Chains A and B, each alone.
Chain A
């Protein structure tokens, strides 16, 4: 029987879909609605010390594609703005009401050992399955020395992780910020501090748009705006890379990953799992469409697994990791050419102009006389860049076909043109 159960940091979950720490997990009402909809777990909205923070009015900005679909949002919200006690009592209640679902308590505090430890103990006592350290918030909280201000300093990542590990005996997740140059550095620090798992990514620092009437960045608070945290579909490629880096690096082998960033569908989820994630977290997709989107995340992932013959998440987890390599390990002798399927082509010319203007002038147009045109790839000129296949509006109309050139695999370090003496790392 194929099923979606998964385990991360020793915590069992009925499915890999958790809601990330954010407005969807801010209150008992939301969380119970989420559980009713089918979410396997939640990371409760980040808790801080009392008194609670105060939020501003006007909080989200949006990045839309040309079809008016939302590809990303950014927010300037802070952590939970409700009293700590209220949150903890609600957590206790939901734990009782939903015994088979996971609740992770998210927390942040200023750089002060006592503050971290006291808060961690209080949260652990509410009955959560684990604690997540929010070291990522890139706006507001960082100006107070918290969030990404900690996450960007590897020693502090290690320190805070260790503080929490020292006082609680439940799993500890360190949530990483993407606003750094090399994700391996904080990931290794978390591992040194004793993290059972890392959660990533938190939001990407951004100015999402400028209102050209108000001449201010959005979202606008009384005429002014500030940089905020970017998330949603648009950040998925960034998250995938960071997850892959941690999964394949020798130094972080074995560190479990709760993947976050732009997961909107079962397919996104499967990609993160293929790159080594043990479980997943979702925020923006739920904010945009409601908790019901988990239904197809579950159903679609199950279908995919059945079709591929995977009986459990573990069966395919990490399968793409060995195929994720450094550029220097790619086969320079591999050759692929675009092939236009004439029967599917609707003669729009998009492939032609893309290749002609910006690639390798490898597509020709033949006027057929009757107003019809035929588009053909000139094999000798095609470098196999895929651009035409990407811009073509007809699905699968342009095939990228590997050329059987009989040459053995050859990497750049082995290549005769490598006169600079680049070696395999």
Chain B
């Protein structure tokens, strides 16, 4: 077996097989014996703090207990009843800042229970059996709901709404469902086409249809939805990459990190995706980290992540930053991009050294240049507002009340496009689920 990951050394490029190997599971799934061992360390807490720390409130002690008793499908149902995308969350959640951070084992200076891995064990077990869908729809309400966006928020909303007896139609711009599960999460977190398998599993509930190629603000208007459906849910995410207005940013070899990741996720063969020799990633969030690690695993010879402030200011979690370092990504802090230089292609990039000494963030007067034939920009995303002109926007996000309803009655929103918790898959799922429950109430209260 090839030890993974493999990086290019002494100018040697990676073979397609080595690259494939680099994009296998970041964490191998637990074997049954490993799962038993991991489950054993759970204390079966009462009112467990890990549950409070999970945005979707999965009953963690119960599902781990169920793994211990050998009721693994029951464990999966416990998970999925709160979080229908429990499979993706088990792979992508930053558990180190969520459930596992809250695990009481930490208080004893012990490693926390491997909640994420156990969750994956249970959900995969159920999904791999490809049996009947575990949930049933309530009696039909005769109501219809339009969901815009087939990302985690939209899918979770659709599933819960269908369970509650409503008929759902999802409108999605992209050719595939899944949102960032399909186009954004790092490839080594979502191997074996998991996003699509999970969508298919979720659709097993029935009562949900998806129409792809439907672009709000393009071939679709919000009024098309409000006119034809009893309620609308908007889960449009934060899909527009923020531009970095720099000299040279139109040179060849400069692209948005999310586009680079999306093309990698969509590539049949990872080795067909071009990666530079000297990759420079600009940004300090998880997107920057993911882009840098994946560039490295694709065979990028030197990959440097440059962030304008200090490590404490990076929005990426400490665990992700560590992962980047162990993958050979060089992290340079306190450096602001000035220009990308080159003739037709990017060749190098110049930075000002920065400092916040004395309380003001400013250049130190020094600058440096890095060779850069591939520049990935990850300085944040924003909402694509086209089609949403009639809604109140607050701080760049759709304004919603406590139930998730926007300024337009009957139109709800959730996920990255609203201000709820962190911009995470699991939060989007919770938003979608809660919105479906609120929509259900809204429809029940509505006469006629």
Q: Which of B32-56 contact A (CB under 8 A)?
A: 36, 40, 43-49, 52-53
Contact with A along B86-130 (1 / 0, CB 8 A): 000000000000000010110110000000000000000000000
Q: Are B44 and A350 in contact (CB under 8 A)?
A: yes
User: CB distance B105 to A350 under 8 Å?
Assistant: no
Question: What is the total number of residues of chain B having a CB less than 8 Å from a CB of chain A?
Answer: 18
Docked complex Cα distance between A346 and B46 (Å): 12
Contact B45 A349 (CB under 8 A): yes
> How many whole Å from B49's CB to the nearest CB in chain A?
6
Given A352-B46, A371-B52, A371-B102, A346-B107 contact (CB < 8 Å): yes
Report yes or no: B36 in contact with A68, Cβ–Cβ below 8 A: yes
CB pair B52–A347 under 8 Å, yes or no, is: no
A347 CB contact (under 8 Å) in B40, B49, B69:
B49
Which residues in A have their C-beta under 8 angstroms from that of B108? 346, 394
Give Cα A249–Cα B45 distance, bound, in whole angstroms.
45
Which residues on the B side are within 8 Å of A83 (C-beta)?
Answer: none
B39 to chain A minimum Cβ distance, whole angstroms, is 9
**Interface residue? A67 (CB, 8 A):** yes
**A348–B47 alpha-carbon span in the complex (Å):** 8
| Cα distance, A229 to B36, chains bound together (Å) | 29
B interface residues, Cβ below 8 angstroms from A:
36, 40, 43-49, 52-53, 68-69, 102, 104-105, 107-108
B36–A353 touching, CB < 8 Å: no
A66–B41 CA distance with the chains assembled, in angstroms = 11
Complex Cα gap A394–B110 (Å): 11
Partner of A67, one of B40, B105, B107: B40
Most B-side CB within 10 Å, residue of A68, A346, A350: A346
A237 on the B face (CB < 8 A): no
A345: chain B residues within 8 A (beta carbon): 107
User: A345 CA to B40 CA in the complex, in Å?
Assistant: 19
Closest to B106 in A: A346
Is A254 among interface residues, defined by CB-CB distance under 8 A? no
Which residues of B lie under 8 Å from residue A365 when comparing CB positions? 47
Interface centre among A348, A349, A353, A365 (most CB of B within 10 A): A348
Nearest Cβ distance between residue A127 and chain B, in whole angstroms?
48
A193 to B105, CA, bound (A): 59
For A66, A349, A353, A394, the residue with the greatest tally of chain B CB atoms inside 10 Å of its CB is A349
A393 on interface, CB distance cutoff 8 Å: yes
> How far is A393 from B61 in the complex, measured between Cα atoms in Å?
15
- State in angstroms the CA–CA spacing of A66 and B44 once bound together: 13
User: Is the Cβ of B36 less than 8 Å from the Cβ of A348?
Assistant: no
Q: Are the C-beta atoms of A353 and B46 separated by less than 8 Å?
A: yes
Which residues of chain B come closer than 8 Å to A346, judged between CB atoms?
43, 104-105, 107-108
- Which B residues lie within 8 Å of A347 (CB)? 45, 49, 104, 107
Cα distance, A345 to B46, chains bound together (Å): 14
Query: Given A66-B68, A371-B52, A394-B108, do A350 and B43 touch, yes or no (CB 8 Å)?
Result: yes
Are A393 and B68 in touch, CB under 8 angstroms? no
* A350 in contact with B45 given A66-B68, A371-B102 (CB within 8 Å): yes
Contact-residue bracket for chain A? 10 to 19
Residues of A within 8 A of B105 (CB): 346
User: In the complex, A349→B103 CA distance in Å?
Assistant: 12
Interface pair B107/A349, CB less than 8 Å apart: no
A371–B99 alpha-carbon span in the complex (Å): 12
What's the Cα separation between A353 and B44 when bound, in Å?
Answer: 11
Sorted nearest first, the 9 A-B pairs with minimum C-beta distance are A349-B46, A353-B46, A346-B107, A348-B45, A346-B104, A348-B43, A348-B104, A393-B43, A346-B108
Expressed in whole angstroms, the Cα–Cα distance for A113 and B369 within the complex equals 105
Nearest opposing residue in chain B for A354, CB measure: B46
Residues of B within 8 A of A350 (CB): 43-46
**Docked CA distance A365–B40 (Å):** 25
Task: Please name 11 pairs of A and B residues whose Cβ atoms are closer than 8 Å in the assembled complex, sorted by A.
Answer: A66-B40, A347-B45, A348-B43, A348-B46, A348-B48, A349-B47, A350-B44, A350-B46, A353-B46, A371-B102, A393-B43
Contacts of B46 in A (CB 8 A): 348-350, 352-353
| Known A67-B36, A346-B43; further 6 A-B contacts with Cβ < 8 A | A66-B40, A346-B105, A347-B104, A352-B46, A371-B53, A393-B43
- Chain A hits for B40, CB < 8 A: 66-67
Q: Please encode chain A, from 359 to 375, with 1 for each CB lying within 8 Å of some chain B CB and 0 for all others.
A: 00000010000010100
Report how far A394 CA is from B16 CA in the complex, Å.
51
Chain B residue contacts of A349, Cβ below 8 A:
45-48
The answer for the CA separation of A257 and B108 in the assembled complex, in Å, is 44
Closest residue of chain B to A66 (Cβ to Cβ) is: B68
Query: How far in angstroms is the closest Cβ of chain B from A218?
Result: 16
- Give A394 to B48 CA distance when docked, in angstroms: 16
Q: Which chain A positions have C-beta within 8 A of B36?
A: 67-68
> Which of chain B's residues has its CB closest to A67's CB?
B40
List A contacts of B43 (CB < 8 A): 346, 348, 350, 393
B45 A371 Cβ-Cβ under 8 A: no
Using CB atoms, name the residue of chain A closest to B36: A68
Contacts of B68 in A (CB 8 A): 66
